[in-house]
Amino acid sequence: MKKILSGLIIGFFFINNSLSSDVISQIEVNWNEIKSMSGEFEQVDPDEVISSGAFYFLKPFQSKFVYENSNEDIITNKGLMIIVDKEGFKIESYAIGNNILKKLLSNEIKIENEFDIIALTDENESYKLFLKLKNDKSDNRIQLTFDQISLDLKKWEIFDEFGNKTVFKFTKIKKNISISQNLFVVRYN
């Protein structure tokens, strides 16, 4: 009886692990086929303040978050996160180093090479993939939520080293559209 039970447990582990690898592979292929993306977002910061606006991703490494009802927007590139005013003039900038967003917006991502996979769950017609950068000594993590059918990114939840969580929900997504490089230009005084 112990052998049968052990065999079932081992068999379940390999089947479950195989399904996880298959889902991760599908997510990876779909994400790597996306070269540009835009849509709308709703952001909930650690203090429960809700913001919304439009987002633009242009691989490699470029993103822009245009906030409604705010005087500031955010632009990222390979090395910086830049806060700009509505005319695109730099207010502040921060080095982003080897962060999660930079990895996600690279031309091609190999999830299992870049991240430790904390968990993959299947719930509410979504896949939730919980990740941590490999060799990152901080406690920064991200949970990505993908639609099970389209594999579109629906949400990401970023957890910083202090346990603070920032959530972005994405809607009205358009993929592989023309996005001008001019959108990501930062102006300096």
71-128 pLDDT, tens digit per residue, is: 999 999 999 999 999 999 999 999 988 788 888 999 999 999 999 999 999 988 999 9
Q: Is residue 65 part of a domain?
A: yes
pLDDT tens string 25-75: 999 999 999 999 999 999 999 999 999 999 999 999 999 999 999 999 999
pLDDT, one tens digit per residue, over 2-13 is 444 444 343 333
189 lies in a domain?
no
Question: What total number of domains does the chain contain?
Answer: 1
Q: Is residue 164 part of a domain?
A: yes
- What average pLDDT does range 170-184 have in this prediction? 96
The answer as to whether 176 is a domain residue is yes
User: Reduced to 3 DSSP states, what percent helix, strand and coil does the chain have, rounded to the nearest 5?
Assistant: 25, 45, 30
Distance CA 130, CA 18 (A): 17
What CATH number is associated with residue 56? 2.50.20.10
> Phi first, then psi: what are they for 91, rounded to 5°?
-105, -50
Q: What is the pTM of this model?
A: 0.86
Q: Which domain holds residue 129?
A: 2-184
pLDDT number for residue 7: 40
Is there a domain that residue 66 lies in?
Answer: yes
